[in-house]
Every structure is written in C-alpha cells, then in structure tokens.
Structure 1
Amino acid sequence: MDGTAASRAALDFGFAFAGEHDLPLAAAHVSPASRDDYFNDDVTLSAHFAIEPAALELLAAETEPLALRHPGLPVRRAVLHGSVIEGLDRAGYGAALLVLGDMRRGVVGRARTGDVPLAVATRAPCPVAVVPADQREGDPL
C-alpha cells in the first residue's frame, strides 16, 4: 500500500479474495526509512518500543473503507523495512496469495525504475496476483 491507484486496486482484490476464501488480510507498506518491521491489527495487543511509523496511518486510512464492507474479516497492517522487493518478498511468507498493484508504466518507465511486480513474482514464496491500476483514476499507461 502506497496510496496509489495501483495499490488500491490490489487492496480491493485482496479484500475480495480474503473474504471469498475466509482468510485474514494483511496490508503492507514497505519503507526503506523504517529500521524494523511493525505490525498492528484490531485484535492483538502488541507493544512496540518505538514511535508508530507514519505509514501506519496511511494503511489505516486505506483499509478502513474496505474493512467496513467486509465486517468480520481480520485485517493486519504492517510497515516493513527495506527495499520494496525485499519487503514484499518477506510479506509473502506464509501467505495464501500475495497481491500486487501494477501501474502499467510501459517499457520506458519499467526500465527506469525496475519492474517490481515481475521481480517479486519471480522470487515470492507464494502465489502472486498482479492487479492493474484502474486507469479511470488518472494513472498514466
């Protein structure tokens, strides 16, 4: 989750998949600025000896509307440290499905910044679904 149309499409797909298969959902944000992984959910009380990462607010804001549409679905939010590819790779351990958004940036965009969905899909420890961004939200092709 990074607040883009691509991540929202992935989150929507993830909620639908989790609800359909009676699975919990984990929404993750990867940050190179974070030193540790940070997890939060509405059921488990966990103690952290650091200030909550700002990305946790983003995750809460993005997951809340979908959680209201899927009552009873357990939702966990995670801020993971490291590069996006490393963090998403770790997020896939133990997952039934890792869902990624794809901004469909084209060949030039992917050559400039890398193809995160392809890199994650080739090394993920679980099945991967790559969901295209909704182009109606203004993302470039």
Structure 2
Amino acid sequence: MNWLHSAVVIFHLLIAAAIVALVLLQRGKGADAGAGFGAGASGTVFGARGSASFLSRTTATLAALFIVTSLTLAYLGGRAPDAPKSVIDRVNLQDKAPELPATTPATPPANPASNQVVEPTVEKPAEPAPQPAPSEPPKQ
C-alpha cells in the first residue's frame, strides 16, 4: 500500500466519522413540535434560522467528499500492483513463474528469398536406459 492510498483511507474514515456526528447532531422533523412549549430557543446558537441550514449544508458537503474519496479508493485499488521492492519479493515471483521447455533458437533460412519458416525444436529430456529383467527370482 503506497502513501497516497493510506492518506486517502485515513481521510475517508475521518469524513465518515464527521458525517455520523453531524447526522446525530441534527434534529428530526418531529422536534419542531416542542417549540410551542418553550423549546424553540435552543436552536439560536447557529443564528435566527436555526441549525438546520448550517448542519444540512455541512452534511451535504461531507457526503460529496465521501463519494469522491470512495471513487478515489476504487481507482487506486483497481490499479496494477507496483513492481516488487525487495529481493525476497523478486525471488517469490520467480518461484511462481511457470517453467518453459528448453528451445533452440530459430535459424534463419539459408536462402532469404524462400518463404520457408523454420520452427524451433524442443529438446526432450533423456530417457533412462531400461533395466534388464532378472533371470531368476531372488532367493530367500
């Protein structure tokens, strides 16, 4: 994980926590019913219009940033991994590589004007010599 990915993840988590806090601070639609009984003065900290416009605008801004960081994380997560950075990573990658059969290099045709294609030949491993069958069964 590179430093950019780590920074975006941390920023994403901070935005998520801020959205949760702002949603919990906001009053629901049923909270206006208490204004008739003297609870209307509690929202004057944020101005004459109350906290609804300030908190709702802040929540919308944080929601837009949350979507942007989500898309950024999806892009960063979908990219191809970087080249191995250590010797151990390189050795592990070489161990996982499939072995290819040994081939001899293709030789160009003797006459360049001919259209013959020379196929490379694959060397076959030497087969072990057959063992002679025993003439008598072993004695016990």
Normalised-by-shorter TM-score class: under 0.3
TM-score (norm 2): 0.21
TM-score (norm 1): 0.20
As a proportion of its length, which structure holds more helix? 2
Kindly name which structure, 1 or 2, has the bigger radius of gyration based on alpha carbons. Answer: 2
As a proportion of its length, which structure holds more strand? 1
